[in-house]
Each structure stands twice: as C-alpha cells, then as structure tokens.
Structure 1
Amino acid sequence: MGSNTVSSMVRNFTFIVTAALTFSFASLACAGQKDFHDQDLTGKNFDNGSLNGADFSDAILKQVHFDKATLRHANFKGADISGVWFTGADLTEADLSDTKGTSVNIRSHFDKAIIHGMDLHCNDCSFKGADLRESKISGYIYNCDFSGADLRGVNMRGMSVTAGGSDSNRWKGALYDDDTAWPEGFDPKAVGAIFKGSDK
C-alpha cells in the first residue's frame, strides 16, 4: 500500500472521528444534557444548541463553537473561553464571571448577564443591564448596546470606535465610577452614561 494511500486513509479516518464527536456533542445538547462542569470540551461544537441553564463552570472551552446557541441563564463561571465563538448566541442572564481568555462576540446577546473580569472584544452585541464590573473592553467596538450596564471599574483604555471615528455604540444609563477607565478624550456624560460611586 503506497504512502499516499495510507495518508489519505488517515485523513478520512480523522475527518470521520471529528465529525462523529461534533455530532455527539450537538446531540447531547439537543437531548437535554446540560451538566458540563469541569469538563475538557476543547474544539467541540454546540452550534444552534438549546442550552438554557447549562453548567459550563470551570470547564475548558477552548475553540468551542456556540454560534446561534441559546444559553440563557447558563453558568460559565471560571471557564476557559479562549477562542470560543458566541456568534449570534443568546446569553441573556448568563454568568460569565471570572472566565479566562477572550471569546469571539459578534451579534451576541449578553443582556443582564454577569460578566465580572471578562476580556471583551465585540461587534454588534447587546449588553443592556449587564454587570461588567472589573472587565476589560478593547479593540474596535462597533454597534454595541451598553444601555443600563454597570461599567464601574471597567478598563476601556484600549477600546476604539469605528475607523470612521464616530461612536456607533449606545451608553444611555450605563453606570460608571472613578475607577472606570475610558478611552482618551471620551466623554461619558455626553453619551448618557451616569456617574455612580462604588458599592464597596
């Protein structure tokens, strides 16, 4: 048997195994499996999964796909979300506190979510009423809604608006304090944010 034939067989086998694993995890989500606490799920696919209330706390979720998944009230506390894709996902009232790494957030919904200490890069996302205290927001942030969000202690020094120079984001009613670090020249009062002292 030639080396090319062996290589082709290995590639086909790897593809089949990967597809089977992807299918099995997607099937678990559809079948109601929601306890993934402390599991290593690196590279798994939960796209379009129904995962409301699922427990991913302390799990390793590197490069996991949750595109268009419903994750309301899901628990990601302490999880490693390095390279996670939340494109189009609904994380309303989810707990993402103390997560590690940076996820891909495009058209994601984090309304009323707990996002303490998270490193955020996002476009076209909703954070209405979310608790983002002590988080970091950096990179080009476009068309995001932070209305009513708690931004006290948030570091936004590395945040940039769109290349055209206009801020497409919404900040009305967002809370900030002396520890909130805004981008240079940014006036939070001018965009409707409200100064509020720390609860400490």
Structure 2
Amino acid sequence: MPSVDNRPEISSKADYLLTAFDILTQIESGESLVGQDLSKTDLYAIDLSGVDLTNANFTQATLTNANLSGTNLSGANLTNADLRGINLTDANLTGANLEGAYLNRSDLRQANFTDAKLDKVKLQVALYDRATIFPEGFNYKSSGAVGPGANLNGAYLNTANLRRVDLTGAKLIGAYLSGADLTEAILENVSLSGANLQKAFLTGACLRNAHLGNVELQGADLRAADLIGADLSHIQSIAGADFSLVKGLSESDRAKLISYPAQQLSAWNPYTRRNTLDSLNIRVE
C-alpha cells in the first residue's frame, strides 16, 4: 500500500540512501565508516577530514567541494564519482578505484595515489605538488592537472585560483590566464611565451628565469614579483600593468618597457589605480 502522501515506501534498507546528516551523525556517535556503502549519496560540501574511509563505496556519489583532507581512502571505490572541487590534500588513496571520476579543480597536493586506478579520470585544473604520489606510469603532467612540470600549453585557465601554486618548469605556451589569481605562485623556469595574462594577479609571484616573450600583460598586477633572469622580450602590451617594487628588473629591461607607446604607459591598472609608467619608477630600495 502506498503511503498517504503518495511517497514510495522503502521496501528494504538497501533502498534507503544515506544523507550527509546521517553520515555525520554516525561519526559523532563513534560509528565506523570503514567499508560502508555510500554509493549514489549526495555529500555536497561535507567535511570528512581525517575520517577513516578504508574500502568505502562511493560509486557515483556526489562529493563536490567536500573536505576529505587527511582521510584514509585506501581501497575505496570512487568509480564515476563527482569529486569536482574536492579537497584531498594529504589523503591516502592507495589502491583506490577512481575510474571515470570527475576531479576537476580538486586539490590533490600531498595526496597518495599509489596503485590507484585512474583510467578516464578527469583532472582539469586539479592541483598537485611535488609531494603528490601518482600511480607508476600515469602521465599526470599531460592530464590537465596543474603543478610542477605540467604541460598546459594552450590551456584555458582564465580566472583560475592558482594562489601559491607551484608551477616550476611548467609549459604554459599560449595559455589563457586572463584574470587568473597567481598571487605568490612559483613560476620559476615556466614557459609563458604568447600567453594571455591580461588582468592576471601576479603579486609576489616568483618568475625567475621565466619565458615571457610575446605575452599580453594588459592590466596585470606584478607588484613585488621576482623577475630575476626572466625573458621579457617582445611583450605584446603592458598597458595598465603595475610593475611596482618588482625584483630583478634589469636597467636595460626597464628602459625597454619605458620605451613602449605613451598610450600604454599612461594606462591605469584597474586594481591598483596606478599607471604603468609610474609603477616602473617605484623600485625596491
């Protein structure tokens, strides 16, 4: 018999999908989630940091923007799970199955994926670092993920949040970084030739020995950036770029920049409210 409000009756416990509230209640009561079936559950933005989720089943579960930092997910099944924006920093995913999972814009720094299955996983703009351990033979540098040595030539990273991200040695030739937040990012030895950095935030970024030839810097915020050894040849436009207190700008490079058309030098930066020429005259003492 159907219930009076016409909702289908639950015929068995297997028909009942746990909610985020149910799971958090279990944790608070001291119950274990090890090996638990959490498939197809909606756990949007749930905080499970530090929880032991060994062998748990998250098949087709929704964990977008969830915090699973420091969790033990060894042997877990995350097949086709929606993990976009998830925080997996310092998480243990040894032997986990992530086939077909969506990890776009996730944070994988210091995560351990030893022996994990990553077939058909989506890693666009996922963050990794030197401490991230990927399965042997997995070509993470060309997966669309962002980190040291990544191959991101021509990548669309407009407005991406890349604050303090380590991109040492990455290839970003012709990449689209308009409006991206690269504050204090490590961009040492990065190839940025032909990249679009219009209105990008590069405040305090390390650009040592970076290749910046033919980049577009209109409206970029380069205050206190480290440009020691950087190649600044043939920059397309510096209109509105703020170079205040940059480090390592040689006198010859400064002279080249000051020789740009007056229309570019007089342009104001939309964030700092300073024009490019004035910014080039504000030097590190």
Pick the TM interval, shorter chain.
Answer: 0.5 to 0.7
More strand by share: 1
Percent identical: 19
Unaligned runs of 5+ in 2: 158-165, 171-188, 192-285
TM-score, normalised by the number of residues in structure 1 = 0.60
* Structure with more relative contact order (C-alpha pairs < 8 Å, separation 6 or more): 1
Which runs of 5 or more residues in structure 1 are unaligned? 150-160, 175-189, 193-200
Residue matched to 2:105: 107
| Equivalent of residue 172 in structure 1, options 165, 168, 171 | 168
Which residue pairs with 2:58 in the alignment?
A: 61
After the TM superposition, which residues 42-121 of structure 1 pair with which residues of structure 2 at under 5 Å, given as runs? 42-102=39-99, 103-118=101-116, 119=118, 120-121=121-122
RMSD: 3.8
Shift of 1:67: 1.3
Separation in 2, partners of 1:30, 1:59: 14
Shift of 1:133: 3.4
Query: Is 1:36 the equivalent of 2:33?
Result: yes
Partner of 1:25: 22
Cα distance change on mapping 1:19 and 1:88 into 2, 3 Å? farther
1:63–1:41 distance in 2 versus 1, CA, 3 Å:
same
Q: Secondary structure at the match of 1:25?
A: helix
In structure 2, C-alpha distance between the alignment counterparts of 1:32 and 1:124, rounded to whole Å: 37
Deviation at 1:58, TM superposition (A): 1.1
Where do 1:4-23 residues align within 5 Å? 9-11=6-8, 13=9, 21-23=18-20
Summarize the Cα distance change of 1:20–1:64 in structure 2 as closer, same or farther, 3 Å threshold. closer
How many Å apart are 1:32 and its aligned residue? 7.5
Write the deviation string for residues 108-155 of structure 1: whole angstroms up to 9, x where unpaired. 1010100123303211110112111326358x843x213279xxxxxx
- Following the alignment from structure 1 to structure 2, what is the Cα–Cα distance between the partners of residues 106 and 125? 5
Q: 1:33 to 1:105 in 2, by over 3 A?
A: farther
Asked if 2 retains the 8 angstrom alpha-carbon contact of 1:29 and 1:51, the reply is no
Shift of the 98–191 alpha-carbon distance from structure 1 to 2, 3 Å rule, reads farther
Aligned partners of 2:29, 2:125: CA distance in 1, in Å?
30
Q: Is the 8 A contact 2:17 2:41 kept in 1?
A: no
Count residues in correspondence: 155
The CA deviation at 1:30 is 7.9
Give the match for residue 195 of structure 1: none
1:126-145 matches, cutoff 5 A: 126-129=127-130, 130-134=132-136, 136-137=138-139, 141-142=143-144, 144-145=145-146
Question: Which structure has the bigger radius of gyration?
Answer: 2
Note if contact 2:53-2:71 (Cα within 8 Å) is conserved in structure 1.
Answer: yes
Structure 1 residue aligned with 2:233: none
TM-score relative to the length of structure 2: 0.44
